[in-house]
A and B are shown apart, each in its own frame.
Chain A
Amino acid sequence: MYYRVSSAALNGLEAAIVNVEADVSDGMPMMELIGYLGSEVKEARERVRTAMKNSGFSLPPRRITVNISPAGIRKQGTAFDLSIAIALLGCLGCIADNAAQEMLIIGELGLDGKICPVQGVLPRVLKGMEMGYRLCLVPIENLKEASMAGNIKCIGISSLSQVYRYLNNEEILEPVASVPLKACKSSQAYPDFSDVKGQKGMKRCLEISAAGGHNLLMIGTPGAGKTMAAKRLPGIMPPLKEDEILELTKIYSVAGSLPPEGVVVNRPFLAPHHTCTPQAMSGGGVNPKPGLVSLAHKGVLFLDELPEFRSETLETLRLPMEEKIINISRCGMNYTYPANFLLVAAMNPCKCGYYPDTSRCRCNENDVKKYTGRISGPLLDRMDMMISAEEIGFEELNSEERSESSERILQRVLQAKERMNYRFIGNAVKTNAEMGNNEIIKYCILGRKEKLLMKEAFTKLRLSSRSYHKILKVSRTIADIAGYEEIKEEHLIEALAYRRSEFF
């Protein structure tokens, strides 16, 4: 007696279709699972046997072999339980020969026969759709996520006996209509910028960051509100596009950290603690899960207390920031996850936090240098803008005046984004921050007056060629926000004020 159903195995963000074959034959009573399986998959034997017994199916005392093929790819996770159980039901003749064909079966079994949710459902369903499957059986908890795939019917199931009845046409389960991504709403709203009083410089820099994708370093006294302002950054970034939502949901699904609504609609904001390890940052484990750099994809990675981070942790950021993806090699396998994030970092100017306020700062010049020197040069080189922030005074704290709302800032950002989109049609570059030398020459053209100004600034402010290019890119964004096609003097001057200065 032989039976075969389909399921899918995960490898990084990509899924592969696998066949789950079961055979019951004469011989010593035993049940064996083969096919290059991880230990979670091997444990399925006990879960499946018990779940079947408790759902009213008893396995005969015969030789049972289950193979998950192709046997050459590693299978991990608990998503194969249900497909194994259905293959066995087929072997026992409980379901018709063609009842479970052309469908993808995903789900973990509890000992009582209940079906438990699993990680990484969306990539598997997408693969099934691509390979022409007509139907997907997924745990009911994963249904929302699965239905995002679009052109494939998904049925949510809650127990093994329910699946049995469905396959024997005793119970009718309707596939859910897929929810259009545009209609997906998040249960959580972004915090609003109108709560942040004062701090005009910091807010302006965040606006430029959001528009042009420039990495930002904020320096300021403790309690200046750096974290508070940074948290509001995703709210002034353009809403996620459909493909971005799909990509993010895939990442979060694989990482097992989807929000309750099953879809990632908000731009991520990640603020890891400074004790974070390099593996947590890049992604790690025997079967590497996406790390913080991937979870912050299309969103903001906020590093508070930057000098306190271990240098190895910070060094892992360098490559993803350059290539926008991260490659992890573990156990002979290569995993690639997207990692296109906006880096915002915050730090105190010195150990006590008050430099250069001589009345409060207890550090001498060497202490200050030592503190700022903890951050490696290559990482600092990747910071496009720098701004200082300090505690706001009593008057501002108590002023009734509401600050500008996120909504209004977003309007300007969107306008700038539109200019950028138009500019970079058909180009791999999508934001001003990503511009290389060729794009800078093409799109950051300076007039005569502007050239003179930069010449003066270059010598007087002792700029390097690298910082010169960064200033041009930031000024491009400032001009975009202001709605100018050509970069004017005032845009350059503003960009100069936010440059990475020689104090670092």
Chain B
Amino acid sequence: MSDAFCKSSAEKYRYINRFSAEYPEKLQEIKNPPAGIYVKGRLPDPTKPSVAIVGSRICSQYGRLAAEEFGSVLAKNGVQIISGLARGIDVIGQNAACDSGGSSFGVLGCGINVIYPKQNAEVYKKVEESGGLISEVAPDAPPIGAQFASRNRIISALCDVLLVIEAKERSGSQITVQRALEQGKDVFALPGRIHDVCSAGCNRLIAQGAGIATEPEAILSLFGIYKDTGNSTSDSNKYGREKLEKIEKRVYENIDFYPVSLDEIVSKTRMSIQEVINVLFHLQMKGYVSEVAKNRYVKTKL
């Protein structure tokens, strides 16, 4: 299926060189702008605010949910979401933005006709329709490591604010942060728990003076956008647990954004395994909990 998609849209890309009027001004300003870019769909609108949501490929449920929330709330409020369409945080944030009707732009590390990783074919399509795909390498170039590092400068150049959701101490996101700081952009990071390797990079950024992304409003207010509280998704989630029964709460309290095993819940709640399984099933059916690996459960709501 992904092959078919590649072919059908193969003719649609445009090449915009550095001296073209269409070439984004934001790219012109950086130290080493690309000589030209290949584009499918459109380029980010310079008059609208844009935020880059980046993070690691292997992410926790906490990162997943945060990327979804920030992606969708920001996009709903007219912010363009830019990212690298990589596995993990990138694609989650962009998918959420597309799903909530906003526009998103993917800056690729491979050729514009190449879908990498293949599983993301569907999101590629959504991003192309809502916004556009951008790449500086030849249209059929395979995904090579070094290209991914250098495309990060384009991501940071195109955005106004860089938001790091989850990053380890050493990761690709740190390169993007470096570039963003050189280019004078604001950097926000999602705070995580200490000792959590997935959040170590973010916590360090905060220590170094990055903005603390406690809620999407923190970023929206930078752009002078004040969200009306009526249609927020997060609010309804936050108070949803009031609807749970007592026994369900007892189990739910022991579930986190990090996978918790069945045995752990049993020993913490001091309930019988049959009871716990029963409650977990109902929580799953109600959409509060999901099973991310065999008998490992996480919260699905922030």
- Residue B126 interfacial (CB < 8 Å): no
- Take A201-B273, A393-B267 as given contacts and tell me if A503 and B196 are in contact as well, using a CB distance cutoff of 8 Å: no
Instruction: Give 18 pairs: A residue, B residue, CB < 8 Å, sorted on A.
Output: A200-B263, A356-B293, A356-B296, A358-B60, A358-B197, A359-B195, A365-B58, A387-B295, A388-B262, A389-B263, A390-B261, A393-B267, A457-B281, A460-B284, A497-B277, A497-B281, A497-B295, A503-B294
Binding stretch for chain B, among A83-91, A115-123, A303-311, A488-496: A488-496
Q: Which 10 A-B pairs have the closest CB atoms?
A: A388-B295, A388-B294, A497-B277, A356-B293, A493-B281, A200-B273, A356-B259, A201-B262, A359-B197, A390-B261
Q: Which residues on B sit within 8 Å (CB–CB) of A364?
A: 57-58
A interface residue count range (under 10 / 10 to 19 / 20 to 34 / 35 or more)? 35 or more
Chain B residues in the interface with A (C-beta under 8 A): 57-60, 87, 195-198, 258-259, 261-264, 266-267, 273-274, 277-278, 280-281, 284-285, 291-296
Q: How far is the CB of B198 from chain A (nearest CB, A)?
A: 5
Whether B263 contacts A198 by the Cβ 8 Å rule is yes
Whether A390 contacts B280 by the Cβ 8 Å rule is no
A-B pairs under 8 A by CB, number = 81
Whether A460 contacts B293 by the Cβ 8 Å rule is no
- Take A349-B293, A356-B296 as given contacts and tell me if A201 and B197 are in contact as well, using a CB distance cutoff of 8 Å: no
**Apart from A359-B198, A390-B261, A493-B281, what 5 extra A-B contacts exist at CB < 8 Å?**
A201-B273, A356-B296, A389-B263, A497-B262, A497-B281
Contact of A199 among B263, B278, B291, B294 (CB under 8 A): B263
Whether A365 contacts B295 by the Cβ 8 Å rule is no
Whether B263 contacts A392 by the Cβ 8 Å rule is yes
Contact of B198 among A358, A386, A396 (CB under 8 A): A358
Whether A456 contacts B267 by the Cβ 8 Å rule is no
Q: How far is the CB of B180 from chain A (nearest CB, A)?
A: 25
- Residue A130 interfacial (CB < 8 Å): no
Whether A386 contacts B294 by the Cβ 8 Å rule is yes
Whether B261 contacts A388 by the Cβ 8 Å rule is yes
Q: Which residues on A sit within 8 Å (CB–CB) of B285?
A: 456-457, 460
Q: Which residues on A sit within 8 Å (CB–CB) of B291?
A: 501
Interchain CA distance A237-B56 in the complex, whole Å = 48
Q: Which residues on A sit within 8 Å (CB–CB) of B274?
A: 490, 494
A contact face: mostly helix, strand, loop, or mixed: mixed
Q: Which residues on A sit within 8 Å (CB–CB) of B195?
A: 359
Interchain CA distance A504-B293 in the complex, whole Å = 10
Q: Which residues on B sit within 8 Å (CB–CB) of A202?
A: 263
Most buried by A among B263, B273, B296: B263
Chain A residues in the interface with B (C-beta under 8 A): 198-202, 204, 219, 349, 355-359, 364-365, 386-390, 392-393, 396, 456-457, 460-461, 490, 493-494, 496-497, 501, 503-504
Q: Which residues on B sit within 8 Å (CB–CB) of A204?
A: 273
Whether A493 contacts B278 by the Cβ 8 Å rule is yes
Interchain CA distance A201-B87 in the complex, whole Å = 33
Q: Which residues on A sit within 8 Å (CB–CB) of B281?
A: 457, 493, 496-497
Interchain CA distance A396-B263 in the complex, whole Å = 11
Interchain CA distance A457-B285 in the complex, whole Å = 8
The residue of chain A having its C-beta at the shortest distance from the C-beta of B59 within the complex is A358
Interchain CA distance A225-B119 in the complex, whole Å = 36
Whether A490 contacts B261 by the Cβ 8 Å rule is no
Most buried by B among A200, A356, A358, A503: A358
Whether A494 contacts B259 by the Cβ 8 Å rule is no
Interchain CA distance A220-B57 in the complex, whole Å = 24
Most buried by A among B60, B266, B281, B296: B281
The residue of chain A having its C-beta at the shortest distance from the C-beta of B198 within the complex is A358
Q: How far is the CB of B301 from chain A (nearest CB, A)?
A: 16
Contact of B58 among A358, A460, A497 (CB under 8 A): A358
The residue of chain B having its C-beta at the shortest distance from the C-beta of A217 within the complex is B294
Whether A388 contacts B58 by the Cβ 8 Å rule is no
Q: Which residues on A sit within 8 Å (CB–CB) of B294?
A: 219, 349, 386-388, 501, 503-504
Q: How far is the CB of A398 from chain B (nearest CB, A)?
A: 13
Q: How far is the CB of A121 from chain B (nearest CB, A)?
A: 47
Interchain CA distance A359-B266 in the complex, whole Å = 22
Interchain CA distance A108-B295 in the complex, whole Å = 57
Interchain CA distance A390-B295 in the complex, whole Å = 10
Q: How far is the CB of A487 from chain B (nearest CB, A)?
A: 14
Q: How far is the CB of B286 from chain A (nearest CB, A)?
A: 10
Whether A494 contacts B277 by the Cβ 8 Å rule is yes
Interchain CA distance A196-B118 in the complex, whole Å = 44
Interchain CA distance A201-B59 in the complex, whole Å = 27
The residue of chain A having its C-beta at the shortest distance from the C-beta of B295 within the complex is A388
Q: Which residues on A sit within 8 Å (CB–CB) of B266?
A: 200-201
The residue of chain A having its C-beta at the shortest distance from the C-beta of B274 within the complex is A494
Most buried by A among B258, B264, B277, B294: B294
Interchain CA distance A503-B293 in the complex, whole Å = 7
The residue of chain B having its C-beta at the shortest distance from the C-beta of A224 within the complex is B263
Whether B293 contacts A355 by the Cβ 8 Å rule is yes
Contact of A358 among B258, B263, B280, B295 (CB under 8 A): B258
Interchain CA distance A456-B197 in the complex, whole Å = 37
Q: How far is the CB of A197 from chain B (nearest CB, A)?
A: 10
Most buried by A among B87, B259, B262: B262
Q: How far is the CB of B245 from chain A (nearest CB, A)?
A: 15
Q: Which residues on B sit within 8 Å (CB–CB) of A494?
A: 274, 277-278
Whether B293 contacts A388 by the Cβ 8 Å rule is yes
Q: Which residues on A sit within 8 Å (CB–CB) of B196?
A: 359
Interchain CA distance A359-B87 in the complex, whole Å = 19
Interchain CA distance A357-B261 in the complex, whole Å = 10
Whether A493 contacts B277 by the Cβ 8 Å rule is yes
Q: Which residues on B sit within 8 Å (CB–CB) of A359?
A: 195-198
Q: How far is the CB of A348 from chain B (nearest CB, A)?
A: 12
Interchain CA distance A202-B258 in the complex, whole Å = 21
Most buried by B among A388, A393, A460: A388
The residue of chain A having its C-beta at the shortest distance from the C-beta of B119 within the complex is A365
Q: Which residues on A sit within 8 Å (CB–CB) of B293?
A: 349, 355-356, 388, 503
Q: Which residues on A sit within 8 Å (CB–CB) of B261?
A: 388, 390
Interchain CA distance A388-B263 in the complex, whole Å = 9
The residue of chain A having its C-beta at the shortest distance from the C-beta of B262 within the complex is A201
Contact of A388 among B57, B87, B296 (CB under 8 A): B296
Interchain CA distance A358-B278 in the complex, whole Å = 27
The residue of chain A having its C-beta at the shortest distance from the C-beta of B298 within the complex is A356
Interchain CA distance A388-B277 in the complex, whole Å = 13
Q: Which residues on B sit within 8 Å (CB–CB) of A219?
A: 294
Q: How far is the CB of B204 from chain A (nearest CB, A)?
A: 16
Contact of A357 among B57, B259, B278 (CB under 8 A): B259
The residue of chain B having its C-beta at the shortest distance from the C-beta of A396 within the complex is B267
Q: Which residues on B sit within 8 Å (CB–CB) of A396?
A: 267
